[in-house]
Amino acid sequence: MPIICFQNGVTNEAWLTKRNFLTYGCTVMVGAGITEPGVVRHSGGKMLEIGSWPSGVDNLCLRITKDLQLSGMEANVDENIENGKWGKLVRNLSNAYLALTDLSVQEASCLQEDRFFIADVNEEAANVTEAAGLFVRSIGKRNLREQIDHLRTGGVWPARPPVTETNRSYPSTWQDLKAKRGSVEVDHFNGAIVRLGEIHGVETPLNRVLRDLCRDAASRLLDPGTETCESLRNAAKNTDRGARGGT
């Protein structure tokens, strides 16, 4: 039976493949939020990319993308869907940071301290995926290392377009905390980087802290905004020191 995984991360595809399902992946670039029970507000983006897992395209991919195009979505096939979904996973690593510091997607890159933190989180991911021999395909013209360098450009970046209540959006992790659902998806994003780092001997203190503190906030039903950039860096230093056996 064919199963297409629209959910972010790569956990579903790996689980299904091990159990011999005919598996397909889909990279989703669609912004949305639940404004009230039964009501979803679309805040931007219609891009969907579908491919056989881990690579290739067949007739089913072509038929589904055509149907999605007819519905108004910007759907295309992807010959290397695993690379694309790892790219989206890395993009989702900042979700936990935005949730813990109460930042919208549009405001995430405005301040230098936030960009530098996200760049450092992504650098851990780059180190890990390179050690694992994985290719991460970034969105846009820059590769992952180039995107990290771009985020480390100093100064204040104005939100573009300007943030309004109509276009302001928050990542799903933020929405999970706000709705007090009791659980979050960080194990499939930051947790995936931590686990891969453990396998290949690459340190990932920032991703580990984001995973642990976000899970804790969810289990305690805390609202977004319990941490700051500084508190998260301090927590990561303490975690790294403990892992090294320091004091």
CA gap 129, 194 in Å, rounded: 11
Cα pseudo-dihedral 50, 56, 60, 65, rounded to 10 = 30
User: Which positions ≥6 away from 47 have C-beta within 8 Å?
Assistant: 27, 28, 29, 30, 73, 74, 75, 76
90 and 183 assigned to the same domain: yes
Model confidence at 64: pLDDT above 50: yes
pLDDT of residue 244: 55
Pick the more confident residue, 26 or 139.
26
Model confidence at 247: pLDDT above 50: no
Query: Per-residue pLDDT averaged across 187-202, rounded?
Result: 98
70 and 106 assigned to the same domain: no
Q: 3-state class of 48 per DSSP?
A: strand
Confidence of residue 239 (pLDDT cuts 50, 70, 90): confident
Q: 3-state class of 141 per DSSP?
A: coil
- Contact between 85 and 10 under an 8 Å Cβ cutoff? The reply is yes
34 and 122 assigned to the same domain: no
Q: Express each pLDDT in 144-190 by its tens digit.
A: 999 999 999 999 998 877 888 777 889 999 999 999 999 999 999 99
Confidence of residue 245 (pLDDT cuts 50, 70, 90): low
Domain boundary among 79, 96, 120: 79
37 and 156 assigned to the same domain: no
CATH code of the domain in which 74 resides: 3.40.50.720
Highest mean pLDDT range out of 12-16, 38-42, 139-143, 167-171? 12-16
pLDDT of residue 31: 80
pLDDT of residue 40: 85
CATH code of the domain in which 219 resides: 1.10.1040.10
103 and 155 assigned to the same domain: yes
Residue 94: closest CA among 174, 195, 167, 153: 174
pLDDT of residue 5: 97
Q: How many domains does the chain have?
A: 2
Confidence of residue 38 (pLDDT cuts 50, 70, 90): confident
Model confidence at 34: pLDDT above 90: no
Residue 173: closest CA among 210, 127, 122: 210
pLDDT of residue 242: 56
Helix axes 205-219, 229-244, angle to 10 degrees: 110
CA gap 24, 13 in Å, rounded: 7
Q: Decide the pairing of beta strands 39-52 and 22-36.
A: antiparallel
19 and 114 assigned to the same domain: no
140 and 30 assigned to the same domain: no
Residue 109: domain span: 85-244
User: Which positions ≥6 away from 234 have C-beta within 8 Å?
Assistant: none
Q: Tokens 């804790």 belong to which residue?
A: 216
206 and 142 assigned to the same domain: yes
Model confidence at 225: pLDDT above 70: yes
